[in-house]
Amino acid sequence: MTLSARPSRGTAVAATVLAAVATLSILPTGSALADGAGLPLGDQNLAETRSTQTLAKGVTLTHIVRGTDPAPADQINTTTRGPWSVNVLTIDPAKSKGRLEATYGADLAKVEKTSDLVRTSGALAGVNASFFTFTASAQYPGDAVGLGIFDGKLLSEPLTDPAEANLVVDANSNKVAMGHLSWSGSVQNRRTGAELPLEFINHPPVIPASCATLTDQTTCTESGDVVLFSPEFAAATPSGPGAEAVLDRHGCVVRTSTTRGTSLTTGQTSLQATGKETVALLNVAAHGCLKRDTTLSNGDGAKVPLRPGLFGVTGRYRLTAGGKVVVPAGTGSFFDRNPRTIAGTTRDGKIVLATIDGRQTTSVGTTMNETAAVANALGLYDAINLDGGGSTAMAVAGGTLVNHPSGPERAVGDALIFVEDHH
């Protein structure tokens, strides 16, 4: 289950509240996972089995199967008899030795299987994470649809869509926060003071339809995009009509072009513009060096400092907040039963990553309401719904899949991984 693309510019919504990482609240003991109560799925009399293995000190993997008989294929979305197959990875930062991080593989534009991301990163375990463009972009399928922070670098900006739910983790302390971040960005010529707002980070700009056939983009009068690119995006920046300015690590202009598409070396960034912003970019970059300002804020408007060890990924919809179920009512296939990936925290500080298999007679999946009920039953004080559907995957050391995806394992944009500290 993926989102086809980022929304067009100009979408306006109110940001939701994000608690600061340093003040993350933590949930009490007595979760359903701990006290043996069954998951709130289907009929009350369903048989439920659980098995738990220790992957490392402070890290456990619990496999839950609720219901015994395979579901009729035509009743997967409606049956109250299940079955459901749920895998729960629990990390206790007070006991474990390691870090929860996010990784995207070779570059942001590519997709890789979760199992491969776990294997190549040498992680103990991991799950798929952010929503990404997927089939909406054959050239850049891994482009995140929303927030992406990797080791303190903002490599993809959050959306204004209120449904976006962000998970931010400080890998230095394994403190996790959830909510909805907002951002603003601009570049300013240090000498002339000319300023230009940024629309996106590492996201191919859109060319206004009425300008697509113009041979001289500087004559376009419709608004386009201004996008910041970093070397992490791909081997080359997106090519096409518009303008591009390449900056060195100090923000000084290395070169400009009236077309887009170039390779960036370490430390370089580029600015691309389309539509009438093409002229504006060329003017701003015409003399000297540029000052770049990007600000990330939580729902209270407080600045979120970007520093090494900070990671952030994009989900869609909060499941629980402050110990209460908050999933919204909704219709459409997104809210039907599907495979799901959940990330959350308990009130006593544990981090939980869970997958629910779906679209199969051996595990039917969950609606959004059922997903939130599972998160709540697992004792998740705060939880979000990550990308699901065919993307849902959990793998352990060596890249071995723990769950059973609804089809061949899908390559995804990024993953949440737990990396052991062997020192």
Quick: pLDDT tens for 364-391: 999 999 999 999 999 999 999 999 999 9
Residues 104-114 have a mean pLDDT of 96
Domain range list for the chain: 21-180+300-420, 184-294
Check residue 349 and give its pLDDT: 94
Give per-residue pLDDT as tens, 241-272.
Answer: 999 999 999 999 999 999 999 999 999 999 99
Q: What are the residue ranges of helices labelled H in 236-367?
A: 277-284
Residue 158 · residue 182 · CB < 8 Å: yes
The single-letter DSSP state of residue 236 is S
Q: What backbone torsions phi and psi does residue 375 show, to the nearest 5 degrees?
A: -60, -45
Q: Are strands 153-156 and 164-170 parallel, antiparallel or unpaired?
A: unpaired
Instruction: State residue 21's pLDDT score.
Output: 31
Is the confidence at residue 178, as pLDDT, over 50? yes
Of 88-97, 118-127, 323-332, which range is least confident? 323-332
Beta strands in 301-363 (DSSP E): 310-316, 318-321, 324-325, 340-346, 351-356
Structure tokens at 330: 């909704």
Give the pLDDT band (50/70/90) at residue 28: very low
Q: What is the pLDDT of residue 6?
A: 55
CA of residue 403 relative to chain centroid, distance: 20
Structural tokens at position 289: 């060096």
DSSP 70: P
DSSP string, 94-109: TT--EEEEEE--S-TT
Range name among 32-36, 296-300, 329-333 with the lowest pLDDT average: 32-36
Residues constituting the chain: 423
- Tell me how far apart the alpha carbons of residues 114 and 355 are, in angstroms, rounded to a whole number: 13
Average pLDDT, stretch 147-154? 98
8 Å CB contact between 371 and 383: no
Is residue 16 scored above 50 in pLDDT? no
Give the C-alpha separation, 118 to 128, whole Å.
10
Strand partners, 297: 182, 303
The values of phi and psi at residue 192, to 5°, are: -90, -20
SS3 53: strand
Tokens linked to 407: 């089809």
Task: Name the DSSP letter for residue 119.
Answer: H
Q: Is 372 helix (H, G, I), strand (E, B) or coil?
A: helix
pLDDT, tens only, 85-108: 999 999 999 999 999 999 999 999
Question: 316-345 as b/e, with b when 16 or more CB fall inside 10 Å?
Answer: bbbbbbeeeeebeeeeeebbbbbbbbbbbb
Predicted pLDDT at 211: 87
pLDDT band at 214 (very low <50, low <70, confident <90, very high): confident
Q: 247 exposed, middle or buried (CB, 10 Å; 0-12, 13-18, 19+)?
A: buried
Average pLDDT, the chain: 91
Q: What residues form DSSP beta bridges with 415? A: 103, 128
Closest to 95 measured CA to CA, from 420, 423, 386:
420
Residue type, 61: L
What is the structure's pLDDT at 385?
98
Whether residue 83 has a cis bond before it, omega within 30° of 0? yes
Percentage of the chain with pLDDT > 90? 84
pLDDT tens-place string over residues 288-300: 899 999 999 998 9
Q: Which residue has the tokens 């220790």?
A: 54
Residue 117 reports pLDDT greater than 50: yes
**What pLDDT score was predicted for residue 84?**
98
Structure tokens at 29: 């003991």
Q: Average pLDDT, stretch 193-222?
A: 91
Predicted confidence band of residue 423 (pLDDT cuts 50, 70, 90): low
Which two structure tokens, joined as six digits, stand for 71?
């579901």
